[in-house]
Amino acid sequence: MTSPSKLQELINQRLQELNFSGDPATLYEPIRYMMALGGKRIRPVLVLMGTELFKGDLKQALSAATGIEVFHNFTLLHDDIMDNAPLRRAMPTVHAKWNSNIAILSGDAMFVKACQLMMDVPDHAVRKVMEVFNRTALEVCEGQQLDMDFETEPSVNIDRYLDMIRLKTAVLVGCSLEVGAIIAGADDKAAQHLYDFGVNLGIAFQLQDDILDVYGDAAKFGKQVGGDIIANKKTLLLLYAIASASGDLSVELANSLLMPVDAANAYQKVEAVKQIYNRLNVREYAETQMQSSYELALTHLDAIVASQEEKTALRELAKSLMIREH
Amino acid sequence: MTSPSKLQELINQRLQELNFSGDPATLYEPIRYMMALGGKRIRPVLVLMGTELFKGDLKQALSAATGIEVFHNFTLLHDDIMDNAPLRRAMPTVHAKWNSNIAILSGDAMFVKACQLMMDVPDHAVRKVMEVFNRTALEVCEGQQLDMDFETEPSVNIDRYLDMIRLKTAVLVGCSLEVGAIIAGADDKAAQHLYDFGVNLGIAFQLQDDILDVYGDAAKFGKQVGGDIIANKKTLLLLYAIASASGDLSVELANSLLMPVDAANAYQKVEAVKQIYNRLNVREYAETQMQSSYELALTHLDAIVASQEEKTALRELAKSLMIREH
């Protein structure tokens, strides 16, 4: 078994070898910049762990692993344009540093690069890998579109929200693990269980994100606590609060959401909404939902017939993603 | 042999079957809209002609053919955002009808759809088809970036311009034919000749476009004659004029280019630049270049050992693309 940090090192090494240079520089420099912003490389590590789980050869999975990471970064690059985000990892986003046109086009080129890397798998795996990858890529687009739609939709129900985070975030986690399993030659049933483990883990992870945004420790969270509240983002917490508040509390919530926010009163708005959340036991509800996705993930892992040692590695990684503070 | 119009019909039929529906509608409706704008479907017809040339089965090539068309429309969709174009085929562009974010994301989804269709080829062809397709897709991005770069580059030389149109336009024509050939099981050498035929034909076609923009018959051209001149677009004609003008003519050209344009004096500017072109024999130069690409294309077609009947079909199609008036 290879430790996650060693796997991460393998990924970063391969990403460096890939280099992403080419002509014109205006197309390739933003790609290099984006890939150099770093990150925990969780998805490609999961590809490699999926391969190791079924005693596959890591070398055969390394291209696809980096392909998943390039794809993920492509989605971030285009999302940043759509969200008009100025910063990513405390650095200017590509569209802010260059311009939107360059960001659109270098994103497109990254997607092609990702496809090239995904094709670099053993013959037996090509069709299955590309099928899972393409289906997932389409779902990620659907998830991003739903997320944008929700901004202007007057009422979003919780099931639809859960579906959105499944598509936007969770399926790529499942896809990463399944691609690794396919490369190692896992049977379809085992690969499916590993996919389902990943998807449910991904959902739990995103719900954890929603919770930490409100209840995280400001010192450890790394971004502004309450950012979702300030932006009136329709997270699980807010949607549950809207659905369960009634009478005066409902009016109070509506008024809090309508508070115009500037630097001076942002804290006040966050506190007002948080108090309402507390009275509605929103945190408990969200944690129960998160816990139930997490446990569902583990039942899928349990259902896989594979090396206990490797399953333990995945279980540990899952746990570390859940008991994080940022 | 199947006639090009019959092939076009097969493509349109398959595109209708594909339908491109899905949830959320905000993602899929723009895709359907874009694909329904129509067009001559030249690239997918070339895929099928490439397959017929080597006595392959059209049914096996139909998905890849439509994949090429979806990819082509994806590039148009994203190009329209970057060019801030209000209209395509006399209809509002996707970003104008919806918005830029929807246009970015539905474009991304179209690219995924294209990849799925390209994978739907016989096993023997998968790797080769995807290799040509991905390489070409990347080159098309490079070409579009070069085209954008040229807008602000003070001096563009003719070789670099020819390289730009090769990447932006011509390689996809070559790719279409080669993909068809690969599906039919053509040998590498024959497939390469067919690719080179397509690339050189594509270059000739684009040069023809540059020429028609200035010397086309307004009634038949379908768009404003002189549009490139009004926009100071660095076409082969302008680049050659800049390179070959000297003394007073050079000053005159510079002044003409600097003429600010409104509806009233657009015609005046076009005429002024055209007169300079005439004095420099720009049209003759451009036609010689076009002719030489066209003839180079034909030598590659001649070099292929294949059915004469099918080669005649490709030769006729090439000719019809060259003696067009719009």
Q: How many CB atoms lie within 10 A of CB A32?
A: 16
pLDDT tens across the length of chain A (326 residues):
899 999 999 999 999 999 899 999 999 999 999 999 989 999 999 999 999 999 999 999 999 999 999 999 999 999 999 999 999 999 999 999 999 999 999 999 999 999 999 999 999 999 999 999 999 999 999 999 999 999 999 889 999 999 999 999 999 999 999 999 999 999 999 999 999 999 999 999 999 999 999 998 877 766 678 899 999 999 999 999 999 999 999 999 999 999 888 878 888 999 999 999 999 999 999 999 999 999 999 999 999 998 788 899 999 999 988 887 66
- The rounded distance, in Å, linking the Cα atoms of B303 and B293 is 16
- Among partner residues B24, B115, B144, which is closest to A134 by beta-carbon distance? B115
How many residues are listed for chain A in this entry? 326
Q: Are B105 and A144 in contact (CB under 8 A)?
A: yes
Q: What tens digit of pLDDT does each residue of A151-162 get?
A: 999 889 999 999
- Residue B126 and residue B118: Cα distance in Å, rounded? 8
Is B109 in Cβ contact with A138 (below 8 Å)? yes
The whole-number pLDDT of residue A289 equals: 97
The CA distance from A21 to A23, in Å, is 7
Answer for the pair B31, B20: CB distance below 8 angstroms, yes or no. yes
Min distance A72 CA to chain B CA atoms (Å): 13
Residues of B in contact with A138 (CB under 8 A): 109, 112-113, 116
pLDDT tens-place string over residues A130-152 = 999 999 999 999 999 999 999 99
Q: Which residues of A touch B104 (CB under 8 A)?
A: 78, 81-82, 104
Please report the pLDDT score of residue A262 as a whole number.
83
Average the pLDDT over B28-39 and give the result: 96
**Contact criterion met (CB below 8 Å) for B256 and B291:** no
Q: What are phi and psi of A225, to 5 degrees?
A: -65, 135
**Percent of all residues in chain A with a pLDDT value above 70, rounded to a whole number:** 98
CB pairs < 8 Å spanning A and B:
106
What's the pLDDT tens digit per position in B186-208? 999 999 999 999 999 999 999 99
Check A119 against B101: CB less than 8 A apart. Answer: no
CA dihedral B204, B205, B207, B212 (to 10 degrees): 140
Q: Give the phi and the psi of residue A210 in degrees, each rounded to 5.
A: -60, -40
Structure token pair of residue A24: 């014109």
Residue B64: partners with Cβ closer than 8 Å, 6 or more residues away: B47, B117, B118, B120, B121, B129, B179, B180, B183
pLDDT at B9: 96
In which band, very low, low, confident or very high, does the pLDDT at B115 lie, cut at 50, 70 and 90? very high
The percent helix, strand, coil of chain B (3-state, each to 5) is 75, 0, 20
**C-alpha torsion angle, residues A46, A50, A53, A55 (rounded to 10):** -120
Mean pLDDT over B95-121 rounds to 98
Across all residues in chain B, what is the average pLDDT?
A: 95
What is the least distance, in Å, from the CA of A74 to any CA of chain B?
10
Alpha carbons A56 and B142: distance in angstroms, whole number: 36
Six token digits for residue A33: 């910049």
Using CB atoms within 10 Å of the CB of residue A229, give its burial: 0 to 12 exposed, 13 to 18 middle, 19+ buried. Answer: buried
A221 touches A212 (CB < 8 A): yes
Place B137 in a pLDDT band, splitting at 50, 70 and 90.
Answer: very high
- Two tokens at B88? 């395509």
* Reported ipTM: 0.96
Cβ-proximal residues to A107 (8 Å cutoff; 6+ apart), any chain: A74, A77, A78, A81, A94, B108
Residue B232 to chain A, least CA–CA distance (Å): 20
Distance of CA A39 to the CA centre of its chain: 12
Candidates A28, A75, A77, A104, partner chain B, best to mutate (most B CBs within 10 A):
A104
Q: What pLDDT sits at residue A155?
A: 87
Task: Kindly state the average pLDDT of the residues B12-40.
Answer: 95
Interface of B with A (CB under 8 A): 22-24, 26-27, 78, 81-82, 100-102, 104-109, 111-113, 115-116, 119, 126-127, 130-131, 134, 137-138, 141-142, 144-146, 148-149
Q: What is the structure's pLDDT at A154?
A: 87
Optimal mutation site among B63, B104, B130, interface A, most CBs of chain A within 10 A: B104
Predicted confidence (pLDDT) at residue B235 exceeds the cutoff of 90: yes
Looking at residue B222, its pLDDT comes to 63
Q: What is the DSSP letter of A99?
A: -
Say what the pLDDT of residue A142 is: 98
Q: Which two tokens stand for residue B270?
A: 């076009």
Beta strand pairing status for B87-88 and A91-92? unpaired
**What are the two backbone dihedrals, phi and then psi, of residue B99, each rounded to the nearest 5 degrees?**
-160, 175
